[in-house]
Chain A
Amino acid sequence: MSLSATKFVHPITTPPSTRSSDKPLFSTFFGSNHTKLRFNKPIVVAQRRSSSAASTSSPVVAVSDVVKEKKLKSASNLLITKEEGLVIYEDMILGRFFEDMCAQMYYRGKMFGFVHLYNGQEAVSTGFIKFLKKEDYVVSTYRDHVHALSKGVPAREVMSELFGKATGCCRGQGGSMHMFSKQYNLLGGFAFIGEGIPVATGAAFSSKYRREVLKEPGADEVTLAFFGDGTCNNGQFYECLNMAALWKLPIVFVVENNLWAIGMSHLRATSDPQIWKKGPAFGMPGIHVDGMDVLKVREVAKEAIERARRGEGPTLVECETYRFRGHSLADPDELRDPAEKAHYAGRDPITALKKYLFDNKLASEQELKAIDKKIEELLDDAVEFADESPLPPRSQLLENVFADPKGFGIGPDGKYRCEDPKFTQGTAHV
Chain B
Amino acid sequence: MATLFQGLPSSTAFSSSNKFNHAPAPTSFSGTWNNERKSSIVTVRSDARWSPVLNSATHKPQRLITNAVATKADSSLASTSSKPGHELLLFEALREGLEEEMERDPCVCVMGEDVGHYGGSYKVTKGLATKFGDLRVLDTPIAENSFTGMGIGAAMTGLRPIIEGMNMGFLLLAFNQISNNCGMLHYTSGGQFKIPVVIRGPGGVGRQLGAEHSQRLESYFQSIPGIQMVACSTPYNAKGLMKAAIRSENPVILFEHVLLYNLKDRIPDEEYVLSLEEAEMVRPGEHVTILTYSRMRYHVMQAAKTLVNKGYDPEVIDIRSLKPFDLHTIGKSVKKTHRVLIVEECMRTGGIGASLTAAITENFNDDLDAPIVCLSSQDVPTPYAGTLEEWTVVQPAQIVTAVEQLCQ
Which of B107, B153, B321, B325 is close to A187, meaning CB atoms less than 8 Å apart?
B153
A89 shortest CB reach to chain B, Å: 30
- Complex CA gap A180/B159 in Å reads 18
Question: Are the CB atoms of B152 and A239 closer together than 8 Å?
Answer: no
Query: Which residues of B lie under 8 Å from residue A417 when comparing CB positions?
Result: 324
**How many residues of B sit at the interface, in one of the four size bands?**
35 or more
| Complex Cα–Cα for A189 and B364 (A) | 42
- A396-430 contacts to B, CB under 8 A, are 399-404, 406-414, 416-417
Q: Is B30 an interface residue (CB 8 A)?
A: no
Chain A: number of interface residues, binned into ranges = 35 or more
In the complex with contacts A192-B180, A414-B328, A209-B277 CB distance below 8 A: no
Q: Are A199 and B181 in contact (CB under 8 A)?
A: yes
Residues of chain B within 8 A of A404, CB atoms compared: 248-250
B41 at interface, CB cutoff 8 A? no
Interface 9-residue window, one of B89-97, B185-193, B211-219: B185-193
Known: A209-B109, A409-B321. A187 touches B145 (CB 8 A): no
Most buried by A among B135, B136, B187: B187
Q: Which residues of B contact A175 (CB under 8 A)?
A: 188
Q: A201-B153, A412-B331 are in contact. Are A169 and B190 (CB under 8 A)?
A: yes
A171, A188, A199, A412: the one within 8 Å of B364 (CB): A412
Task: Determine if B190 and A202 form an interchain contact, defined as CB atoms under 8 angstroms apart.
Answer: no
Q: Is A178 positioned at the interface, with any CB of B under 8 Å from its CB? A: yes
Query: Is A206 in the interface zone, CB < 8 Å from B?
Result: yes
Q: Is B148 an interface residue when CB atoms closer than 8 A count as contact?
A: yes
Contact B154 A205 (CB under 8 A): yes
On whether the beta carbons of A213 and B106 are closer than 8 Å, the reply is yes
**B residues less than 8 Å from A246 (CB atoms):** 141
Check B349 for interface membership: any CB of A closer than 8 A.
no
B109 contact set on A, CB distance < 8 A: 209, 213
B176 contacts A by Cβ under 8 Å = yes
Contacts of B193 in A (CB 8 A): 180, 182, 187
Assess whether A199 is in contact with B190, with CB atoms less than 8 Å apart. Answer: no
Q: In the assembled complex, which residues on chain B have CB atoms less than 8 Å from the CB atom of A198?
A: 145-150, 152-153, 177
- State whether the Cβ of B101 lies closer than 8 Å to any Cβ in chain A: no
Give CA–CA (A323, B399) in the complex, Å. Answer: 64
* B196 contacts partner chain A, Cβ-Cβ < 8 Å: yes
Which residues of chain A (181-208) have a CB below 8 Å from chain B? 181-182, 187-192, 195, 197-208
> Cβ of B148 and Cβ of A239 under 8 Å apart?
no
In chain B, positions 74-94 with a C-beta closer than 8 Å to chain A are none
Complex A-B: 10 CB contacts under 8 Å: A169-B190, A174-B190, A187-B157, A190-B180, A195-B176, A198-B147, A198-B149, A207-B157, A400-B191, A406-B276
Report, nearest first, the 4 A-B pairs whose CB atoms are least far apart: A202-B153, A198-B149, A409-B324, A171-B190
Question: What residues of chain A have their CB less than 8 Å away from a CB belonging to chain B?
Answer: 137, 139, 168-175, 178, 180-182, 187-192, 195, 197-210, 212-214, 235-236, 239-240, 242-243, 246, 399-404, 406-414, 416-417
